[in-house]
Amino acid sequence: MAKESGLGFSVIVDDSGGSARTISNDITNLDFATPREEQDTTGMDKSAHERLLLLADFSVTLNGVFNDASNMSHDVFSTVSSSSVARTVTLAISGQTLACETNFSDYALGRSASGELTWSAPGALAGGAVPTWS
């Protein structure tokens, strides 16, 4: 296996009706994480930490350029404020795929002084399934 760039990243997000929409072209950058909770179990007899791994989690923040074409990013996220449905987020790069049931909590739009119209959509794990790359 060789080191690779992030070029060719694919992002697919369900709309509120459950239809998977490829919106990679609208996304300019993203951040995601798959952290684990930890419980400190260090006894008084230890000189270093002891920890147990607990629940797994997933979070994602997608950022992009406004696109109100049919089945693109605005169609996918415009219903975040009015529908309470989990959406499958699928991230794919170099034959590796991470798919998680995700609750999106916001669809924030912003217009810069130069005229750019952009959006941001943060999400967190919804379904209770451990995030696993395949």
- Reported as a single tens digit per residue, the pLDDT across 88-126 is 999 999 999 999 999 999 999 999 999 999 999 999 999
Tally Cβ neighbours within 10 Å of residue 76. Answer: 25
Q: Is residue 111 a part of any domain in this protein?
A: yes
Contacts of 40 by beta carbon, 8 Å cutoff, 6+ apart: 49, 50, 51
Q: What's the CA gap between 91 and 50, in Å, rounded?
A: 33
Look up the pTM and report it. Answer: 0.91
Q: Is residue 69 a part of any domain in this protein?
A: yes
Q: Is residue 2 a part of any domain in this protein?
A: no
Q: Is residue 108 a part of any domain in this protein?
A: yes
Domain span at 109: 10-37+52-125
- Reported as a single tens digit per residue, the pLDDT across 65-85 is 999 999 999 999 999 999 999
Q: Is residue 89 a part of any domain in this protein?
A: yes
Q: Is residue 134 a part of any domain in this protein?
A: no
The total of structural domains in the chain comes to 1
Q: What's the CA gap between 102 and 15, in Å, rounded?
A: 12
Look at the block and give the residue holding tokens 């669809």: 107
